[in-house]
Amino acid sequence: RTCDQLRCTACDFRVSHFNDYIWDQSCDYLFFRNNMPELSKLRAKMIKKKGARAYACQCSWRSIDEPTDLQTEQQLRWVCGKH
């Protein structure tokens, strides 16, 4: 489980999450910078994977397919956006 109101303190964007998807390995900073938050554009680099979840803001992205503590990821600046 994760907060559904995550916000990035680096780019000030809401963190989007997509169930049953991972990001293609070719994803890079410019892809997210130019395409967030438009799902129709993001789908070009989404790969279906049951049980996984793809996260992204405008400057960072992660694909998670097993329980992971995102707080240990030093480069992520995602915090609860307050409910």
Q: What is the pLDDT of residues 2-37, one digit of tens each?
A: 677 889 999 999 999 999 999 999 999 999 999 999
In a domain, 41, yes or no: yes
In a domain, 16, yes or no: yes
In a domain, 17, yes or no: yes
Residue 73 CA, chain-centre distance (Å), reads 13
In a domain, 81, yes or no: no
In a domain, 38, yes or no: yes
In a domain, 76, yes or no: no
The count of domains in the chain is 1
Q: Could you tell me the residue range of the domain that residue 28 belongs to?
A: 6-64
Q: Model pTM?
A: 0.85
pLDDT higher than threshold 80 for residue 48: yes
